[in-house]
Structure 1
Amino acid sequence: MRLLLVEDEPFIALDLELLSRSAGHEVVGVADSLESAIAMAASAAPEAALVDINLRDGFSGVQVSRALSGQGQVHVGFVTGNAEQIPPDFAGAVAVLEKPFTQAGVEEMLGILQSACEGEAPSPQPRYARMARRS
């Protein structure tokens, strides 16, 4: 899966990158703001994105999710310590994994995103992530 990471804390971004690569995914870029995330998504064509809520330019992760998922081609999972900032519609994201995260939690989130990319429901019920409610 081609994956965009949207995280402004360098050590967290590196940790997510290493965990994603070790799980067999291709990290196509790391963005730290709304503007850089939109630009990277346009040029790198990711299938999925792990997005923090609080970025370098403020609480813009929700806007990133709306922009990426609104095109219908990028499946978004939030990885954040600010889950209370996620609107009820999840801003188009499929799930949220709260920080601090574990390797198992990241692997689960990547599995959820992979299932979304393949048009399938995640199985089994997640232990670490919280799924968005879909109507």
Structure 2
Amino acid sequence: MTDQKTLRVLIVEDEPIVAMDLAEMVEGWGHNVVGPASKRANGVALAESEDIDFAILDVNLGRGETSEAIAAALRARGIRFMFLSAHKAAAIDFCMGEDVMQKPVIVSQLETRLQDFADTTFSQQAI
């Protein structure tokens, strides 16, 4: 990416390999990773306490857990995020208009979304 704006990105993903891949991609694009968290409780704790610019949340966290409480914590702090899911947005009961990226993730689309968010965020801060 050119003219890099660095974001602090929370990653919540229960599959260790996927979480590691996401973290490597995000760091490779010049951003800082918060987490990754693999369980709801860890994700909520990070969402409530860490300095975060953006978050990427897997919808289903295994063993009947979802990222619903994490999304609520981020919304309460005004932190933007997107969901990752094998399902469409209409199938996610707790999606309130947030962006949903289908799994498997298309790397170029994720990079573009993060860059667009960074550009928007930093241009608004400059005003």
User: TM above 0.5, one fold?
Assistant: yes
Q: Structure 1 residue 115: deviation in Å?
A: 4.5
Using the alignment, how far apart are the partners of 1:76 and 1:98 within structure 2?
14
| Structure index of larger Rg | 2
What TM-score comes out, normalization by structure 1 length? 0.74
Q: Structure 1 residue 66: deviation in Å?
A: 2.1
Q: Give yes or no for the alignment of 1:102 onto 2:102.
A: no
Q: Cα distance 1:115–1:69, how it changes in 2: closer, same or farther (>3 A)? A: farther
The correspondence of residues 1-135 of structure 1 with structure 2, limited to 5 A, is 1-72=7-78, 74-83=79-88, 84-87=90-93, 90-91=95-96, 93=98, 95-115=99-119, 117-118=121-122
Using the alignment, how far apart are the partners of 1:25 and 1:117 within structure 2?
14
Q: Structure 1 residue 80: deviation in Å?
A: 1.5
Q: Cα distance 1:115–1:55, how it changes in 2: closer, same or farther (>3 A)? A: farther
Q: Is the 8 A contact 2:59 2:68 kept in 1?
A: yes
Gaps of 5+ in 1: 121-135
Using the alignment, how far apart are the partners of 1:44 and 1:65 within structure 2?
14
Using the alignment, how far apart are the partners of 2:31 and 2:101 within structure 1?
18
The code of the aligned residue for 2:61 comes to L
In the TM superposition, what whole-angstrom CA distance separates every residue of 1:47-81 from its partner, at most 9, and x where no partner exists? 11000100034252233212212221x21111221
Q: Cα distance 1:67–1:21, how it changes in 2: closer, same or farther (>3 A)? A: same
Aligned pair count reads 117
CA-atom RMSD in angstroms: 2.2
Using the alignment, how far apart are the partners of 2:116 and 2:53 within structure 1?
12
Q: Indicate the residue corresponding to 2:3 in structure 1.
A: none
Q: Structure 1 residue 43: deviation in Å?
A: 3.3
